Structure 1
Amino acid sequence: MTISRGEDEPAKRSVSGCRIIVSEDDDAVRERFVHLIAEWDGGEVVAECATLLETMAAIRTHEIDLLITDLNLPDGNGIEAIGALRALQPAAEAMVISVLADDRTVLDSIEAGASGYLLKDADPVDLVDAINDLMAGRSPISSRIARVLVKRLAERAERSATGEDTPKMTPREMDILWGIAKGFTSDEMASSLGISRQTVPVHIRNIYRKLQVSNRSEAVFEATRQGIIRL
């Protein structure tokens, strides 16, 4: 299944010479993906990665058009790689191929910047067709993932209709949000609030998720626009 991304999305791009990073810890699956791409004249694999660390290094090293990533990596979550790709190479695309289909994981992946989401345990993945669809401006997704997104849109519409669409922040998240707005570092916020340095990024990620943003500037803008904080 594919979904059009609409007129406000980037223009369709040629898949000729598509530069791809494959991030997958299962050797057999990774080798199969690499082999399929190698037999296709539309793209090339510039890096094969089995860990999040390798994937992050490849994103920093190679200019690419597409990241294909699993989520359950031995040393972290592929969502972190998607977020890094969005920050470092915003023109590049990301596609998840995973066994995970729970609502939170799907939504976090999409919000991080994934434009496609396929399930390993569904029908056999036609990788080349999926890449062609994605690079042509569509979003290849499995039917179970489509249901998650439809459910999310329905919930959002219901909240908007009842005036309950503004995200609810916890008191601690509000403290962190004000710290972000004032330009404090994570260390400064931890010190002033008397909390662990390691907990600050957790609160920041929750704030980003609730506001559906990916950086501090966007968080402040959205929080101000929605009336959560007033500067």
Structure 2
Amino acid sequence: MRPEPTPLLTHEPITVVLVDDEPQFRAGLRSLLGFYPLPDNQAIRVVGEAGNLTQALDLIETLNPHLVVLDLELPEGSGIELLIRLREKDYTGQVLVLSAHEEAQWVFTAMQAGAKGYVFKETAGTHLATAIQAVLAEQVYLSPEVATCFFERFQFLNQNTLQLVRDLDLTDREQEVLHWLVQGESNSAIAAHLYVTVATVKAHLTSIFEKLAVSNRTQAIVKALRLGLVQK
């Protein structure tokens, strides 16, 4: 999926997909976006809406929008999982999280998983227009309230990551495998990076899944990001 990388440099409408499980909220957001000014009077066009993870993946793959405005609470999965799945599909548009979750852990995990910006729902009226312009210009945007949460979490993780690794008993090699897993690499690619066999990578993944108490790659990536075990 390859949308125009810098849509603000063209005069084409900015295409947007809204992902939120509340139809009334999506309707209000759609109306709000119609009033937001962009440089050179460029239009914002909402081309699709999704209320769950499956719908969102299908819509984004089909419509290939410049921007996805994403809530993190979704039926059938989370917005974090959607971010990871989009990265696996090589989606190169931008994702702006608009969420009621104000906890530092959610902010940090969303940004680690690939979001370009994060705005709290209760302050959307103040920050959303600026956030959209920033992420479309390929800049990271955190509203002031979000930035405070993000850096508090970052400092906490820096202080506690080593202890977490010790507690989980991850070996150096397992940490390397986990790093490449979070980058979206396949088993064969990880094997090439580490100069080992695919069978060895699979054995390490089995051990990692057991230590993280997860059952698949996506769950492992989400948990690793949430715990701050690796950097994206």
Relative to the length of structure 1, the TM-score reads 0.68
In structure 2, the partner of 1:28 is: 24
Root mean square deviation of aligned Cα: 3.9
In the TM superposition, residue 171 of structure 1 has moved relative to its aligned partner by 3.1
1:206 to 187, 200, 223: 223
Measure the CA separation in 2 of the matches of 1:147 and 1:85.
Answer: 27
Contact 2:97 2:117 in 1 (8 A): yes
In the TM superposition, residue 204 of structure 1 has moved relative to its aligned partner by 4.8
In the TM superposition, residue 165 of structure 1 has moved relative to its aligned partner by 6.4
In structure 2, the partner of 1:128 is: 129
> What amino acid does structure 2 have at the position aligned with 1:95?
L
Say whether 1:14 aligns with 2:9: yes
In the TM superposition, residue 90 of structure 1 has moved relative to its aligned partner by 4.1
> What amino acid does structure 2 have at the position aligned with 1:82?
L
In the TM superposition, residue 61 of structure 1 has moved relative to its aligned partner by 1.5
In the TM superposition, residue 116 of structure 1 has moved relative to its aligned partner by 0.9
Contact 2:81 2:222 in 1 (8 A): no
3-state SS of paired residue (1:121): helix
Contact 1:190 1:200 in 2 (8 A): no
Measure the CA separation in 2 of the matches of 1:81 and 1:47.
Answer: 16
In structure 1, the partner of 2:165 is: 168
In structure 2, the partner of 1:87 is: 88
3-state SS of paired residue (2:122): coil
Could you tell me which runs of 5 or more consecutive residues in structure 2 were left unpaired when the two chains were aligned: 37-41, 178-186, 192-196
Measure the CA separation in 2 of the matches of 1:46 and 1:87.
Answer: 23
In the TM superposition, residue 173 of structure 1 has moved relative to its aligned partner by 7.3
* More helix per residue: 2
Aligned pairs for 1:101-116 within 5 A = 101-116=102-117
Aligned residue pairs total 200
Measure the CA separation in 1 of the matches of 2:156 and 2:62.
Answer: 40
Measure the CA separation in 1 of the matches of 2:113 and 2:209.
Answer: 30
Identity %: 22
Say whether 1:183 aligns with 2:190: no
> What amino acid does structure 1 have at the position aligned with 2:114?
G
Aligned pairs for 1:36-47 within 5 A = 36-39=32-35, 41-47=42-48
Measure the CA separation in 2 of the matches of 1:204 and 1:149.
Answer: 19
> What amino acid does structure 2 have at the position aligned with 1:211?
V
3-state SS of paired residue (2:115): coil
Measure the CA separation in 1 of the matches of 2:170 and 2:162.
Answer: 20
In structure 1, the partner of 2:151 is: 150
Measure the CA separation in 2 of the matches of 1:145 and 1:35.
Answer: 24
